[in-house]
Amino acid sequence: MTIHLKPRSLRTFQSLLLAWYRAHRREFPWRADRDPYRIWVAEIMLQQTRIAAVIPYYDCFLRRFPDVRALARARQREVLKFWSGLGYYSRARNLHAAAKTIVAQHGGEFPRELEAALSLPGIGRYTAAAVLSIAYDAPLAVLDGNVARVLARLGAVRGDLRAPRAWRSLSETAQQLLAREAASDWNQALMELGETICTPHSPRCAACPIRRWCEARAEGLVDQIPAPRKKRAAVNIKIAAAILRDPHDRTLLMKDPGAHDGVFFSRMWQFPAIEVKRNARSELANHLRATLGVNGIALEALPEARHGVTFRNVTLLPFLAHVEQLPANAVIRGRVLPLESVAQVPISSATRKIAAAAAAAHTLHRH
Ligand code: SF4
């Protein structure tokens, strides 16, 4: 793509967008100051999560871990607990590991050099550019979905923006347009424009400060850019999970090394579970026998729950099983706790849904 602006025109373009941003920017907790730690945490939380959903988690997280040293000192399970509900838990693990590196190798200060930032766990080109530019004004352009949409419309770029060549070209354009002396505001201005004015549907072009440079608008192509992405076909998956319950209302959670735990249970504590194909009850019973040595228990089906993970449609099939004793071999590597306390340990939202089905059944049985 090409957006060729003469130097004078480029300066006007930059100053109009910067002025618009400074007048209209929304206040967020991570915009209160230029603390790289706060900006970094926000960038990681915002990676796959909407702003409105992030804010309450962000506030709690920052209260508990107010700086990088506090985060580095914390135990991983404590960090995961404060991440619980946000999903994509590898983000929290990487954040924690990176905090330790920053304290051990960078004196507790987020590194200022791109290479050093990129070597931290969980920090790719986008996050590094975002933190370094927003916190330190480093002259690095960011390119996320919002910025890409704005740039694609400005240059009337057709086709899939995420195709490697198109994305590379957009990155180069972003770097050419960057207001180098005000990289922090500039990057945030482009993102803000994409989020509030140049939105995916019905952009508000009349309020856009850079509309005079917009080729898509001039050519009447705004609604067609960016081109819709080809959707991956959805995959349907069924996961059966066993809520074992002993006479003291205690249950067992595992860190299941099974093939699906990384995706569905985020490598956190989970109920014993397995992907099932035909007969959920008998396949789960076989799994319990093979992995936990649990034999001959009645599995009571509880209401199923839906769970979407990217392109997968997951049906969660919870089964309640009363046992005299929780399996001793599993107790050593698992975690035994009162059923009602399951939500207090770090668990994924899939496990939360299964626990909710068990809690509902428990209440029903009592009445
Ligand atoms: S004029 Fe409209 S389509 Fe073009 S950049 Fe502005 S908001 Fe986006």
Q: CB of 248 within 8 A of CB of 55?
A: no
From 173, 194, 224, the end of a domain falls on 224
- Same domain for 311 and 353, yes or no, is yes
Residue to mutate, 154, 173, 192, 215, ligand 1, most ligand atoms under 8 Å from C-beta = 154
Atom 2 of ligand 1, nearest CA residue: 205
Active site residues: 43
229 domain residue, yes or no = no
The pLDDT, as a whole number, for residue 329 is 75
- Same domain for 218 and 239, yes or no, is no
- Output the pTM of the full model: 0.72
- Same domain for 293 and 170, yes or no, is no
230 domain residue, yes or no = no
- Same domain for 116 and 186, yes or no, is yes
- Same domain for 247 and 165, yes or no, is no
| CA 65 – CA 40 distance, rounded (Å) | 13
The pLDDT, as a whole number, for residue 17 is 98
CATH (domain of 272): 3.90.79.10
In the Cβ-directed half-sphere of 248, how many Cα atoms lie within 13 Å? 9
- Same domain for 247 and 197, yes or no, is no
Residues of the chain under the 70 pLDDT cut: 1-2, 256-263, 310, 362-367
Residue 306 φ then ψ, to 5°: -100, 150
| CA 29 – CA 55 distance, rounded (Å) | 8
Domain enclosing residue 119, as ranges: 7-224
- Same domain for 187 and 250, yes or no, is no
From 224, 246, 279, the end of a domain falls on 224
Distance 198 CA to ligand 1 centre (A): 5
- Same domain for 197 and 252, yes or no, is no
The pLDDT, as a whole number, for residue 85 is 86
Kindly give the number of the ligand 1 atom that is closest to the alpha carbon of 203. 7
- Same domain for 149 and 103, yes or no, is yes
The pLDDT, as a whole number, for residue 281 is 93
The set of protein residues with a Cβ atom below 6 angstroms from ligand 1 is: 150, 153-154, 197-198, 203, 205, 208, 210-211, 214, 216-217, 222
Kindly give the number of the ligand 1 atom that is closest to the alpha carbon of 205. 2
- Same domain for 321 and 191, yes or no, is no
- Same domain for 150 and 272, yes or no, is no
Distance 51 CA to ligand 1 centre (A): 22
Atom 8 of ligand 1, nearest CA residue: 198
Q: What confidence tens digit (pLDDT) does each residue in 45-88 have?
A: 999 889 999 999 999 999 999 999 999 999 999 999 999 888 88
Length of the chain: 367
Name the residue among 161, 140, 144, 186 with its Cα closest to residue 47: 144
Distance 197 CA to ligand 1 centre (A): 7
Number of domains in the chain: 2
Residue to mutate, 191, 196, 208, 221, ligand 1, most ligand atoms under 8 Å from C-beta = 208
Q: What confidence tens digit (pLDDT) does each residue in 190-213 have?
A: 999 999 999 999 999 999 999 999
CATH (domain of 144): 1.10.340.30
- Same domain for 70 and 199, yes or no, is yes
* Whole-number Cα distances in Å, 145 to 47, 197, 299: 11, 14, 46
From 224, 245, 266, the end of a domain falls on 224
The 8 Å CB, 24+ separation contacts for 120-129 are: 121/93, 121/94, 121/97, 122/44, 122/90, 122/91, 122/93, 122/94, 122/95, 122/97, 122/98, 123/94, 123/98, 127/40, 127/43, 127/44, 127/47, 129/187
Distance 5 CA to ligand 1 centre (A): 17
